[in-house]
Amino acid sequence: MLAPALMVQGTASNVGKSLLVTALCRLFRQEGLRVLPFKSQNMALNSCVTPDGGEIGRAQAVQAEAAGVPPSVDMNPILLKPEGNRTSQVVVLGKAIGTMAAAQYHAYKPELRGVIAGCLRRLREQCDLLVIEGAGSPAEINLKDHEIVNMHVARAADARVLLVGDIDRGGVFASFVGTMELLDPEERALVGGFLVNKFRGDPELLRPGLEFLTNRTGVPVVGVLPFLPRVRGADEDSLSLESRRGRRASPGELDIAVVRLPRISNYDDVVPLEHEPGVVVRFVEHPRELDGADLVVLPGSKSTVSDLDWLRRSGLVDQIEARAARKEPILAICGGYQMLGESIEDPTAIESPQPSTPGLGLLPLRTRFEAPKITAQVRARCASPTFLTDQLDVGAEVRGYEIHMGRVEATAEAGRPIFEITERNGTRARAPEGCIARDGAVVGTLLHGLFENEGVRASLLAHLRRRRGLPALPPSPVPSRDQEYDRLAAALREHVDVTAIRRIAGLP
């Protein structure tokens, strides 16, 4: 017998669908159900690696964690990773199958419908409730004939829909009514409830609007969720970065500047730092914004050569090179790490039409792009002290994950590895990882997720505070991800009619 399914769709992108699915996964897990998340197609540059080495959207990995289950490729069978304005790398069931233009991908969708159906069946055989996330809006009329992520999935899973709108951006009532008007009658019949998200103020002031909404559409409003500040979730697109340019740090705070590359990927690497007391994380695009930063982070990129060219044109390279000359800390991750090397070789045009591109030369390494893509959960141990790890013992274990096609090799003895990899995807390994140069001021690594290691996070922040002459902060535990999931579930219980959601989902 197949489990019932509940689908969360939105009136637009970035209205809180991912976070709501995460909250529902935790809430129903707390009620003793085996819950699994699903999203058929994800367009995102924040991704994660499953225990068997498959690549899926980061949001579904977070939702699986909230549900208390390991992530699997069935939870996100299709991942699109934009490489340009009209092309994306296509990942199917955890493996990259190539780059496609929009028209080519649309022609491929009929085959993908079978993949989606298989995943839905397998997941529903394993759980008590499947919680499904949609994408964008179901009312994108130019895409409806070919879509494989909203109402197509609701029909395939026999799921009722919870429609979410973001009141913080304004126009939420028009968004709900407009979405319903643009749906076909059989699609409207699948919508079982509205949920208003990100409300600031007294919910009683909304009552006339909520009553109008139900009278106009015949669909009940199941709750009004308040704006929840500083929630640790998983952002899927760079829209979320617009609100994270950040204020400047005060004299007693650490200032961390993250370069917002045009094709930035896995920028959720720095999310754990955002939740530390006494730390300000800013996403920056202009040279002057690097002034005064205690740490500059050059993050991952889906288009390394293109983003390196942008870095040069923007003037940020001059600032980064001057910073390195002054021996001020720079951390480069994955694509950012590759940019700091001596060259990027791509003879078979895997990522760029340029067969060879000079790097910034701040680290003694060379990158060569080649297939297959490496996706691995990693265990490693500290090999050399750096500003990341100088408070950790040599040999201390850290965990992270790799997602890259560029192979990095040292070009000189001057660069020391930061870590030694001891395990990839559960198999023993022994390989140097990362590089240190400029008397330890420039550090690069291919490992994502390092700041999820509490020891690494604490070591970095203690080093930066000492360097600034700031006193050490007393211990102030940052909420764990587990505590954040509980917080989300508690907010649902307080502000949403859970009984109505159970009824919409078809639960007893």
CATH code at position 154: 3.40.50.300
Distance between first and last Cα of the chain:
15
Task: Tell me: do 291 and 440 sit in the same domain.
Answer: yes
Task: Tell me: do 41 and 101 sit in the same domain.
Answer: yes
Give pLDDT, residue 406.
87
Give pLDDT, residue 420.
95
Task: Tell me: do 303 and 446 sit in the same domain.
Answer: yes
Q: How many CB atoms neighbour CB 42 within 10 A?
A: 26
Considering 48, 119, 127, 334, which one is annotated as catalytic?
334
Whether 356 is covered by a domain: the verdict is yes
Task: Tell me: do 424 and 496 sit in the same domain.
Answer: no
Whether 475 is covered by a domain: the verdict is no
Strand partners, 87: 101
d(Cα 47, Cα 24) in Å, to the nearest integer?
Answer: 21
CA–chain centroid gap for 34, Å, is 24
Considering 152, 404, 448, 463, which one is annotated as catalytic?
448
Give pLDDT, residue 189.
97
Task: Tell me: do 276 and 365 sit in the same domain.
Answer: yes
CA–chain centroid gap for 384, Å, is 29
Task: Tell me: do 271 and 358 sit in the same domain.
Answer: yes
Residue 20: enclosing H or E segment and its boundaries? helix 17-30
Q: Which residues contact 45 (CB under 8 A, 6 or more apart)?
A: 81, 82, 237, 238, 263, 264, 265, 266, 267, 300, 302
Give pLDDT, residue 231.
72
Task: Tell me: do 302 and 212 sit in the same domain.
Answer: no
Task: Tell me: do 154 and 208 sit in the same domain.
Answer: yes
Give pLDDT, residue 83.
85
Residue 411 exposure: Cα atoms within 13 Å on the Cβ side: 18
Task: Tell me: do 88 and 203 sit in the same domain.
Answer: yes
Q: Number of structural domains, the chain? A: 2
Q: The tokens of 29 are what?
A: 């897990």
Angstrom distances, CA of residue 446 to CA of 12, 71, 298, 458: 34, 22, 12, 20
d(Cα 12, Cα 197) in Å, to the nearest integer?
Answer: 12
Strand partners, 479: none
Whether 279 is covered by a domain: the verdict is yes
Residue-range definition of the domain harbouring residue 36: 5-232+484-505
Task: Tell me: do 131 and 269 sit in the same domain.
Answer: no
Task: Tell me: do 381 and 282 sit in the same domain.
Answer: yes
Whether 477 is covered by a domain: the verdict is no
Per-residue buried b or exposed e for 66-83, using 16+ beta carbons within 10 Å of the residue's own CB: bbebebbbbbbbbbbbbb
- Active-site residue 495, yes or no? no
Whether 478 is covered by a domain: the verdict is no
CA–chain centroid gap for 231, Å, is 13
- Active-site residue 334, yes or no? yes
Per-residue buried b or exposed e for 236-265, using 16+ beta carbons within 10 Å of the residue's own CB: bbbebeeebebeebeeebbbbbbbbbebbb
SS3 track for 393-442? CCCCEEEEEEEEEEEEEECCCCCECCEEEEEECCEEEEEEECEEECCCCE
Q: How many CB atoms neighbour CB 313 within 10 A?
A: 9
Task: Tell me: do 366 and 498 sit in the same domain.
Answer: no
Q: Which residues contact 282 (CB under 8 A, 6 or more apart)?
A: 244, 245, 246, 247, 248, 255, 256, 257, 258, 289, 293
CATH of the domain at 421: 3.40.50.880
Each residue's pLDDT tens digit in the chain (508 positions)?
899 999 999 999 999 999 999 999 999 999 999 999 999 999 988 999 999 999 999 999 999 999 999 999 999 999 999 987 689 999 999 999 999 998 999 999 999 999 999 999 999 999 999 999 999 999 998 888 889 999 999 999 999 999 999 998 889 999 999 999 999 999 999 999 999 999 998 888 899 999 999 999 999 999 999 998 767 655 554 445 555 556 677 888 999 999 999 999 999 999 999 989 999 999 999 999 999 999 999 999 999 999 999 999 999 999 999 999 999 999 999 999 999 999 999 999 888 889 999 999 999 999 999 988 999 999 999 999 999 999 999 999 999 999 998 899 888 765 689 999 999 999 999 999 999 987 889 999 999 999 999 999 999 999 999 999 999 887 767 778 899 999 999 999 999 999 999 999 999 8
